[in-house]
Amino acid sequence: MNNRSYTALTAFLGVVLGVLATLVVVRITDSRKKFDGDYNRWRKLNLILQEVEKNYVDTIDMKAMTDAAVVAALSELDPHTVYLPPVALEASETELAGNFEGIGIQFNVPNDTAIVLSVIPGGPSEKAGLMQGDRILKVDTAVIAGNKTPQDSMVTRMKGPAGSKVTVTVKRDGTDIPFEITRGKIPVHCIDAAFMVDDTTGYIRLSKFTRTTYFEFSSAADKLMKSGMKRLLFDLRDNTGGYFDQAFLVCNEFLEEGDPIVYMEGLHRPRQDFKADGKGKLKNIRLEVLINESSASSSEIFAGAVQDNDRGLIIGRRSFGKGLVQEPVNFTDGSGLRLTVSRFYTPSGRCIQKPYSDDYAYDIYERYAHGEMTVADSMKVDRSQEYFTRDGRVVYGGGGIIPDVFVPMDTTKASDFFIQANKKALQVRFASAMADRYRKTLSSIDDFQSLERYLEAIALKDKFLDYARKEGVVLKPSEEADFDTYMMPQLRALVGRYSRLEDEAFYRFYLEIDETIRTALEVNAGL
The pTM of this model reads 0.77
DSSP 224: H
Q: Which of 445, 406, 431 is nearest to 487 (CA)?
A: 431
Instruction: Give the integer Cα–Cα distance in Å for 468 and 470.
Output: 5
**Collapsed DSSP state (helix, strand, coil) of residue 459:** coil
Check if the beta carbon of residue 434 is closer than 8 Å to that of residue 463: yes
Say what the pLDDT of residue 27 is: 42
Give the list of residues 6+ apart from residue 399 with CB closer than 8 angstroms, or none.
321, 323, 351, 352, 353, 354, 355
Say what the pLDDT of residue 94 is: 64
Q: Is 308 considered catalytic here?
A: yes
Q: Is 297 considered catalytic here?
A: yes
DSSP 41: T
Say what the pLDDT of residue 189 is: 79
Q: Is 322 considered catalytic here?
A: yes
Q: Which of 118, 295, 297, 415 is catalytic?
A: 297
Chain-centroid distance of CA 286 in Å reads 28
DSSP 485: I
Say what the pLDDT of residue 520 is: 95
Q: CA quadruple 140, 145, 149, 150: dihedral positive or negative?
A: positive
**Collapsed DSSP state (helix, strand, coil) of residue 195:** strand
Neighbours of 105 (CB within 10 A): 24
Say what the pLDDT of residue 218 is: 97
Residue type, 159: K
Say what the pLDDT of residue 96 is: 62
Q: Which of 127, 208, 275, 322 is catalytic?
A: 322
The structural domains of the chain, ordered by start, are 37-76 (no CATH), 99-187 (2.30.42.10), 191-409 (3.90.226.10), 416-522 (no CATH)
Q: Which of 308, 404, 503, 514 is catalytic?
A: 308
- Mean pLDDT, the chain cut into blocks of 10 residues (527 residues total): 47 39 41 60 83 92 89 89 83 64 81 79 86 88 91 87 92 90 84 94 95 94 98 96 94 98 95 97 97 94 98 95 89 89 95 84 77 77 90 93 91 84 88 84 92 95 96 94 92 90 91 92 66
DSSP 285: S
Q: Which of 163, 168, 189, 165 is nearest to 178 (CA)?
A: 168
Say what the pLDDT of residue 32 is: 59
3-state SS track over 383-435: CCCEEECCCCCEEECCCCCCCCEECCCCCCCCCHHHHHHHHCCHHHHHHHHHH
